[in-house]
Amino acid sequence: MSNVDRRQLGHTGGPMEDELEEAFDRQVEEGVQRLHRPWREVLVTGFFGGTEVAVGVLAFLLVLEQTDSHLLAGLAFSIGFLALLLGHSELFTEGFLIPVLTVAARRAHWSQMLRLWGGTLVANLVGGWLMMWLIVAAFPGLAAPLVGAGSHFATAPLSVQSLSLAVLGGAVITLMTRMQHGTDSMPAKIAAAVAAAFLLAGGQLFHSVLDSLLIFGALHTGRAGFGYGQWAQWFAYTVVGNVVGGLGLVTLLRLVRSKERLQMEWSSVRGDQEDGRSAS
């Protein structure tokens, strides 16, 4: 069926199905708001993202210590993603879909996206580091599972397996973002958060922020057999894998699927610019 026929059948008049048109508009609108935040809001939102994920890490550790089951602990970790969803805070890895789509639609500049990524990542790590210090001080009995969990990631060498786990981690978190922004249903958004948490934490996928918090906690105990240097090495390739997974396996295909809609946005932006020049 041609694009003209689809426009005649749908109520949005766009080149994609109505649900995708509505999701596209929501995503670009949100992306414009996020990418035009001042530095203060970027850092505060990212800091809260780190502290709220740490609450999920606490739930993960409590269940892991009692059951020795990563799958059950992964379900408990979903508390952290629910806090992100309902508290409107942000993780660095949540920036692989909406901001990229907004820049592709020419509604923001790539430098704004890099600012969002960098500021959010640093604030995530600072907030998470502080919260993990509090957790270790409050729950000294969790030192053993924390050291075990942190060591699993910090001492993992760069290999096909570890890089694949990082790529999958980036793909899963970006898929969660896509699912949550594809619906207005809060129960559906919650289900997406629980599913992603189960896969990330339960499956021990490599996630640059979540697993850094486990590593920080292990270091805070003073019993870890590794240091911040090993964390930095692990973190470097994990970030790359997360970006490749989020952008390459999810976002790129979303852009290809939305090509005609993006072209409409480009035309609209050019029209706005020409109107502005004419008015001046």
Segments making up each domain of the chain, as ranges = 3-269
Helix, strand or coil, per DSSP, at residue 17 = coil
The sign of the CA dihedral 22, 106, 254, 207 is: negative
- Listed in sequence order, the DSSP H helices in the chain are 3-9, 18-35, 39-67, 70-87, 98-104, 110-138, 143-154, 160-180, 186-197, 210-221, 228-243, 252-257, 259-279
Tokens of 215: 């590593």
Low-confidence ranges of the chain (pLDDT < 50): 1-7, 9
Contact 177, 242 (CB under 8 A): no
Which one, of 135, 149, 133, 20, lies nearest residue 74 by Cα?
Answer: 149
Question: pLDDT digits over 149-175, tens only?
Answer: 999 999 999 999 999 999 999 999 999
| Amino acid occupying residue 211 | D
DSSP state of 14: S
The total number of residues written for the chain in this structure:
280
pLDDT score for 3 = 47
User: Which architecture does CATH list for 3-269?
Assistant: Up-down Bundle (1.20)
Quote the CA–CA distance of 224 and 239 in Å, as a whole number: 22
Q: Where do we find the tokens 């289900």?
A: 191
